[in-house]
Amino acid sequence: MIFIPAGLAALAVLFFFLGRGQGRKAYDMQTTETSSAADLARLASDIAQEIGAGSLAQTAEIKGTIECDAPLSAEMSGTGCVWYRSVVTREYEEPYTERDSDGKTRSGTRRGSETVSSNERRVPFRVRDASGSCEVDPEGAAMDGERVLSRFEQGDQGPSLSFGGLTVRLGGIGAGRRTIGYRLEEWAVPTGRAVYVLGEARDDGGRLRVGKPSAKGGRFLVSLKTEEELVRAAKSGSTILTVLAGLFTAAAVVVLVLVLTGVI
């Protein structure tokens, strides 16, 4: 029975570290001052004059409107965007037979799902504010977009499924499984929207842009939410996860005592 308190303790540790991660996320956003495009250009110029071009590498936070000369077209919804993720999930039902603890056999039908297609793309873009614009290279960023499509196509579509610009080769399905239909979901960061970016400003290669931090563990986030919304969500998540860590720690101690005293 010792595995029960051990499992509870493991969950407590997991919740603790997840909560601490959310707390650090809120701290990183709150302690990074928002820079305008002009501020970053001026900083890059000053550093270049002092120690040479390509020397800027500083955590930066920018806010503005997304611009892109060659935006993507999300493959299912057709949304003009700088990032999208498309997922096609097959939902099915299958017969099953199982034996309970008394040795009795029970049969029935259960539902399940499996991902048959998942695709993600992103392209560089600019963030424009009142002072100008700054390029963003989103490679490696945590992209926080919006759902632009959620649709269920009922029935078996045969060997392939076509929707918008997407054609998915479905292949076979497990023996005894009956396809109910396909759920199509897509998330995107559309052009023309207000965006929040936290990353590292660099001017290597003669180009000023915000991208993935060079230091391990550096935070890189592109979000349609405001900074205030993100900080509030991170703080709330940190509080909830910390409370859960405390509850599971207490539960692990109680169960351990009960096991050691022979109560259970």
Sequence ranges of the domains in the chain: 3-260
Assess whether pLDDT exceeds 80 at residue 168. Answer: no
- By the 8 A CB rule, do 15 and 242 touch? yes
Q: Cα 179 from chain centroid? A: 29
| Residue 234 burial (C-beta neighbours within 10 Å; 0-12, 13-18, 19+) | buried
Assess whether pLDDT exceeds 70 at residue 110. Answer: yes
Assess whether pLDDT exceeds 70 at residue 159. Answer: no
Amino acid at 101: S
Q: pTM of the predicted model, to two decimals?
A: 0.83
Q: What is the pLDDT of residue 260?
A: 76
Residue matched to tokens 């720690």: 249
Mean pLDDT across the stretch 161-174? 60
Helices (H), the chain: 3-31, 37-51, 227-260
Structure tokens at 242: 């910390």
Among the ranges given (94-98, 225-229, 233-237), the one the predictor scored with the smallest mean pLDDT? 94-98
Mean pLDDT across the stretch 182-211? 94
Q: What is the pLDDT of residue 199?
A: 97
- By the 8 A CB rule, do 214 and 2 touch? no
What pLDDT band is residue 228 in, cutting at 50, 70 and 90? very high
